Structure 1
């Protein structure tokens, strides 16, 4: 029976059926691969070919589509950069868990998508950036300048200080891609302008002044009228949310501070010598070479004719240099490396450590001093090299570094003692994760306590932001378990346990009664102050002069002609209220009021509105405003361009990979 089954499934008919089944499955797999992104992508920007805008996205046509991917590495790097910026801005108030929100992740991703959209747009537009534009951009960067002029030494030093270090050639290609991506948005921004009419209308509003009168009402007298029990209960029932005891916790904790641990004994000579021999390489500097070079640029993807032309030019320059031509002059006249050409092609000293591209580095370390070599091909083109100097490696003796080694050995012993104690504490807490006292006793450290306290009024060790966040975290509050070690500073950590937790709860009336009485009296005072201000406004609206009323009531009164928008007179909130009031009719005033805080009010009248006149604006201020408006319009236009591209392209986001 089995033999018959094998016979029926092994003939040419079975092979044909199997082949027909494979085809659709293969197409589905390839189509998914071509259109769904790779497992390393968090987003994908796609567009049909420019010569077939209506091209479908099914395989094999999808192979013609153009793509820009946002990889997980791209996203992680951008998100980490945003995290560091936020941490620097907020300091101790930074909450890493809150930063990990989906909203923050999408915000960072949207910025990356805008970049990819611009890159794809530039690619479809056929934009090419030449060497001259790249060199001009690098030379104009203030960070690379000394006394207002481009400094090759400053340029090379800053690139070498990056982590990881960037070679001038790598940086040049990065900036070429950046310029290509930003060329169209920059052109859109540069082409924007502001008409005189726009500027005049804007200044009519921004330059507006108002002639006002203002009277200051003092706070009303403190309310001392009796408050009945019925009033207390009615207020309490209507404002229960105002009378709550905040969530509170009490902590027990064990603190390990390396600074308080016993100082390690001074290391003996043999231990120091052993350490020196084991780490001798770090006291030695490797051999370095000083090389001047001429780069004839040719992209790795350039056609054979372009490559050959660049190679021939490099060979000709190498020949001239070998025949005695001034190498520095040849570099200044011919090199395509903006970072070194002005210095005669000379690069800062470098070791054989991968800081330069491999073909270049291999050639440099195979040369003799004074030798000319080339053409040497790399991904950037063809190089002609001149070895100017060899700096041999140097080292320091044991006697020279003994003090440094002794300090390091003592610090290492202290670190080991701290890590050993911290490790023992963690091991003990794992034995009983809900009781901290046994762990403290086992390692010989005191069990300390603090609390109860609320999140808005921390005490003791809880004043450390990281400790406070952990103390009110769901895990510690709900489970009663011991925290992981919380770092307070290097070699200083603490483990905590929530010994007692009191959730937020409404205060019973008997405990809230005094606060309720204060609230009732404060409300009475506020209503009395508001009524006094309203009464004054009503008198002015009926035709009385604010100045006359203020004098009769013994109030402070001032005329403020030409009050400008945004001036904090008498407060910023008062200025907002004054400029929010309507325009007065001819011969009339508009009256209003504003709270000044602490129960005080001001009553004002808008007597006249003076529109800003552009002709009266100083020329310097007018030029500044025009520049600001132009930049604002340019930003709006540029964002509109990016938004339009995003609508034209197909954007896929893989949320589960964020």
Structure 2
């Protein structure tokens, strides 16, 4: 199993960069700086704590995704917070279990692999090249330390390797292929006609009495949403930034240069052989020497790395670990790396990871960045560092002040802030900082709206907080009858027309099923336009796609029956009557090579998904999980 996982995980790292950065940054928040070291645990999985901070981040991600899926007029009040919490908790538990399982099976991601991922992320690149300044700024703005961000990347890479390996260990049998081909290649013969909703709409009318009655009976459906006018104050870390003099910037630059890690970088490739219960250190070294002998005799290092290296993060790229300035790998590894000749394979090197064969593939001189190159980044960092202590203190002051104040004027005056005022806003209105879901949820809460209190201090970002207070409130109210009468008229007409159409379809279907009528006889009726299709597939059928899909889902005619009949409501309101007369099963041999490959790929994906779900369930069933 483990070998299958390793074999099929090759290449996964190259495919996940974009999705990885989106998912990780979606969970951003100031708590990220703390990693997963929160003292309060939400759950314990096989002895490992899942922190409340991790759960809160996952909840925010799910809330954001749900609101985005609801579109521009998303209403945060429709979200079920308890269901979201349970879903987020379950997802985190599953991730923890997969990570534990992957680590238990020896799946890893080397620091060099993670570094290379970061270098390749477009979010950290300018003009197609990695920008240390941009990297630093993006992490800071999302509330991440570099160490914690790398830990998230590492865990995600490891989990994805395990998942990809399990999914990739599946296969498709000939029986599965043949059965799928019988469905995909199936051909059907059928007749159909369409009953038009437009004809019925033209024949119905709605009285004033009906309109008024519907309006009164359904008044709750014609409400204007409640509106608020808000007062609010914002607190931003950038507002506390103080000018930094040139001498301070130069001093910080000199400190950076004092720590500058040399003027040389070396690009390394390696073959890693793990020391296991079945293979001790001496045996592993002996195997490494056998591989070295093959390389010395002319065999390709990269090819042997792909075949034999047990570092799944680098094996698929020929063992390539990228560049190191001397601090990326274990000490014993780096010592050999920086003492070796380029192009010469090292003797076996032992580290905690196992036994390595190391090859230097490139050596380049790294120029010390100039003061001008680093000046802006250092200046921004110093300004934020100076502002951070003041900002954190002011946030705490703001919390105390708004809790004890009957308005926002006092807190604003105390902290030298400005009270701002909004226009009329509904839950779904977009108005800058007030458009965030948490802001409108707080504004419409009973505590703020009904009780007249200030909101809590709300975090919009790691460096941006806000407090709101309701100034005026327009409750929900019915729209005037004149404004909605046309909408009501159209709805009632559609309902009446649909009922007439349904009645006609039921009568016609009853006659077809009883034998009183047939499609052949209906062809002579000017009201109906009967169409026939003979031995067509899902692809070649000319009937509307939704009707064709419904016909291919109909039961086969029973032995002795001329046809199977059914009615199908179409999205445009029309109703189709179909008669299925013949079903011919498809054969694998009748399909083109491309069609067979497409079917096999689809079955493979389905089997892989089932295998992964079964694996996840098995580790869940055997896990020791305690909810806090």
TM-score relative to the length of structure 2: 0.60
* C-alpha displacement of 1:531: 1.2
Separation (CA, whole Å) in 1 of partners of 2:605 and 2:346: 53
Q: 1:203 to 1:565 in 2, by over 3 A?
A: closer
Separation (CA, whole Å) in 1 of partners of 2:575 and 2:582: 20
Q: 1:601 aligns with which of 574, 578, 585?
A: 574
Structure 2 gap segments, 5+ residues each: 1-39, 122-145
Separation (CA, whole Å) in 2 of partners of 1:630 and 1:221: 49
2:93 paired with 1:103: no
| Secondary structure of 2:533's aligned partner | strand
Separation (CA, whole Å) in 2 of partners of 1:92 and 1:643: 27
| Secondary structure of 2:491's aligned partner | helix
Q: 1:526 aligns with which of 491, 495, 498?
A: 495
Root-mean-square deviation over aligned CA pairs:
6.2
| Secondary structure of 2:171's aligned partner | helix
2:188 paired with 1:213: no
Separation (CA, whole Å) in 1 of partners of 2:449 and 2:458: 16
Tell me, yes or no, if the aligned pair for 1:290 and 1:346 is still in contact at 8 Å: no
Task: Report the equivalent of 1:147.
Answer: none
Tell me, yes or no, if the aligned pair for 2:233 and 2:419 is still in contact at 8 Å: yes
Task: Report the equivalent of 1:276.
Answer: 253
Separation (CA, whole Å) in 1 of partners of 2:554 and 2:291: 77
Task: Report the equivalent of 2:604.
Answer: 631
**Cα deviations by residue, 1:608-647 (Å, 9 ceiling, x for unpaired):** 4444443784323651364156426734873696489569
Q: 1:329 to 1:503 in 2, by over 3 A?
A: same
* C-alpha displacement of 1:446: 4.6
* C-alpha displacement of 1:101: 1.5
2:49 paired with 1:72: yes
Q: 1:292 to 1:228 in 2, by over 3 A?
A: closer
| Secondary structure of 1:561's aligned partner | strand
Separation (CA, whole Å) in 2 of partners of 1:418 and 1:156: 28
2:375 paired with 1:405: yes
Separation (CA, whole Å) in 1 of partners of 2:384 and 2:618: 59
Q: 1:467 aligns with which of 432, 436, 439?
A: 439
Task: Report the equivalent of 2:471.
Answer: 499
Tell me, yes or no, if the aligned pair for 1:373 and 1:386 is still in contact at 8 Å: yes
**Cα deviations by residue, 1:480-531 (Å, 9 ceiling, x for unpaired):** 44345656679766432233556768x5xx9669758964773255214431
* C-alpha displacement of 1:349: 4.4
Task: Report the equivalent of 1:561.
Answer: 533
Separation (CA, whole Å) in 2 of partners of 1:81 and 1:175: 17
| Secondary structure of 1:451's aligned partner | coil
Q: 1:237 to 1:626 in 2, by over 3 A?
A: same
Q: 2:233 aligns with which of 254, 270, 276?
A: 254
* C-alpha displacement of 1:448: 0.9
* C-alpha displacement of 1:212: 1.9
| Secondary structure of 2:208's aligned partner | coil
| Secondary structure of 1:482's aligned partner | coil
Q: 1:109 to 1:287 in 2, by over 3 A?
A: same
Tell me, yes or no, if the aligned pair for 2:458 and 2:467 is still in contact at 8 Å: yes
Tell me, yes or no, if the aligned pair for 1:210 and 1:561 is still in contact at 8 Å: yes
Task: Report the equivalent of 1:430.
Answer: 400
Separation (CA, whole Å) in 2 of partners of 1:193 and 1:158: 39
Task: Report the equivalent of 2:171.
Answer: 190
TM-score relative to the length of structure 1: 0.58
* C-alpha displacement of 1:356: 1.1
Separation (CA, whole Å) in 1 of partners of 2:183 and 2:623: 38
Separation (CA, whole Å) in 2 of partners of 1:352 and 1:612: 65
**Residues 61-210 of structure 1 correspond to what in structure 2 (within 5 A)?**
69=46, 71-72=48-49, 100-110=84-94, 113=97, 157-158=116-117, 178=162, 189-190=170-171, 192-194=173-175, 198-199=179-180, 201-203=182-184, 207-208=187-188, 210=190
Separation (CA, whole Å) in 1 of partners of 2:118 and 2:89: 30
Q: 1:481 to 1:546 in 2, by over 3 A?
A: farther
Separation (CA, whole Å) in 2 of partners of 1:383 and 1:539: 79
* C-alpha displacement of 1:159: 8.8
Tell me, yes or no, if the aligned pair for 2:229 and 2:425 is still in contact at 8 Å: yes
2:350 paired with 1:377: yes
| Secondary structure of 1:604's aligned partner | strand
Separation (CA, whole Å) in 2 of partners of 1:373 and 1:494: 59
Larger radius of gyration: 1
Separation (CA, whole Å) in 2 of partners of 1:640 and 1:424: 48
Task: Report the equivalent of 1:652.
Answer: 624
Q: 1:420 to 1:222 in 2, by over 3 A?
A: farther
**Residues 477-492 of structure 1 correspond to what in structure 2 (within 5 A)?**
477=449, 480-483=452-455
Separation (CA, whole Å) in 2 of partners of 1:588 and 1:294: 68
Tell me, yes or no, if the aligned pair for 1:568 and 1:575 is still in contact at 8 Å: yes
Q: 1:440 to 1:543 in 2, by over 3 A?
A: same
